Structure 1
Amino acid sequence: MATPQTTIETVTITRPLKVIAFICGLIVIILMIMGLASTDWLMAAGWRQGLFLHCIEEGAPQPLPFNMQEPVGCYPSRDAGYIRAAAGLCIITLLADLVATVLTGLGLRTKEHHTKYKYYRLAVVAMAIALVAIIMALVIYPVCFAAELNLGNRTIWEFGWAYGVGWGAAIFLFGGIVLLMCDKESEEIYYKERKIVHHENDSRA
């Protein structure tokens, strides 16, 4: 005779919002590396300025900005406090977002419910630190530059794509924070239980 046996199987379905937050963290890492490496934060005729280097292009009109006397080429950034501050804040952004992204990945990976949300809460804090740091850098840089504009020896100055990349990173950080915070327990993980009936035949002598 068949002996029915009932077991309950739990199926865990991960919601996509945390995955999207993890992707936002990865995008911020890429954007911050690009911004830190670029010299296109601030540009004028024959002059490009980044966080760690400034470059003088061939045929740059004289006199050069900020009374520089170097020939054509790239050189370490000027000893200006706001440039160093912006660079330091951007490094903090990169490191904090890296920590937040790792924590989000660990949260996605673990199966322990309480550990998962502990990782997510820590990731929110790290991303918030990164967001505050990048916004401070993006505000300090143009405001302090405006104070020394009379030394620029150029009538037209433009903020380059690297400065825009910083704002892009801020937007993705904000999105990652929102996704990590708004995705509550009932939204993030869904437990589905289903009954499975097994029929086993009795062995006959």
Structure 2
Amino acid sequence: MGKSFVLFERQSKKKMAQTTTIETVTIVRPLKVIAFICGLIVIILMIMGLASTDWLMAAGWRQGLFLHCIEEGAKHPLPFNMQEPPGCYQSRDATYIRTAAALCVITLLTDLVATILTGLGLRSKDHHTKFKYYRFAVIVMALALVSIILALIIYPVCFAAELNLGNRTVWEFGWAYGVGWGAAIFLFGGVILLLCDKESEEIYYKERKIVQDNDSRA
């Protein structure tokens, strides 16, 4: 009788030692990673575009968002009736140049914020927190896209209105202006990637049973 009671007690202990744990497994969506990379590329492109004077070019003249440069041997009269010797100077006091520069700075800052939010979303292990980061990242990145598109439209359209003061027959948009369009393309891609990859389950749960043997071997 005593042996039967001990056996029953041991079996009960074994049953009580079985526990079920729930593990959380985080899935990193590839499209989110690509959107993050797009944001990083835009930062590099915008820094290049803001620092360059090759937005608009003619014979002996280069114009950027913050500086314009007069080359050695530039033909006179200079564009916009400038009288300075060769060198680089602060950009002309033209409203469209300042507006385009401000919009490009806004693009850089908002894209930086959107990229950081996307990175935080990738690192977060909480599903709801991830969703919030991605949602705000889309909004901010869309604002960056709108800003750069406006800058790229305003700059050439307003320049065309003062073309008669250019004193040049041939004008070209330089590589820096093309870099702006490149940034716009990557921003558009980042927004689309963040919007398309909207699976609700960034995290799934997996059950695992753990059986512990508490039998005393004494």
Q: Tell me the equivalent position of 2:199.
A: 185
Q: Does 1:172 align with 2:217?
A: no
What are the superposed Cα offsets for residues 128-177 of structure 1, whole Å, 9 maximum, x if unpaired? 11111100000000001111111111111110010001001111111111
Give the Å deviation of 1:33.
0.7
Gaps of 5+ in 1: none
Residue aligning to 1:66: 80
Pairing of 1:1-205 with structure 2 (within 5 A): 3=14, 5=18, 6-186=20-200, 189-191=202-204, 193=206, 195=208, 197-198=210-211, 200=213, 202-205=215-218
SS of 1:75 mapped into structure 2: strand
What CA RMSD, in Å, does the superposition of the two structures yield over aligned residues? 1.8
Task: Tell me the number of residue pairs that the alignment of Structure 1 and Structure 2 aligns.
Answer: 204
Asked if structure 2 preserves the Cα contact closer than 8 Å seen for 1:21 and 1:179, the reply is yes
| SS of residue in 2 equivalent to 1:62 | coil
SS of equivalent to 1:98: helix
How far does residue 203 in structure 1 lie from its aligned partner after superposition?
A: 3.1
Q: CA deviation at 1:82?
A: 0.5
Counterparts of 2:38 and 2:169, CA distance in 1: 38
The code of the aligned residue for 2:130 comes to K
TM-score (norm 1): 0.92
CA distance, structure 2, for counterparts of residue 80 and residue 117 of structure 1 = 43
Cα distance in structure 2, aligned partners of 1:124 and 1:138: 21
SS at match of 1:71: coil
**Sequence identity, in percent?**
80
Bigger proportion of residues as strand:
1
Q: Helix, strand or coil for the counterpart of 2:93? A: coil
TM-score by length of 2: 0.87
Contact 2:33 2:122 in 1 (8 A): yes
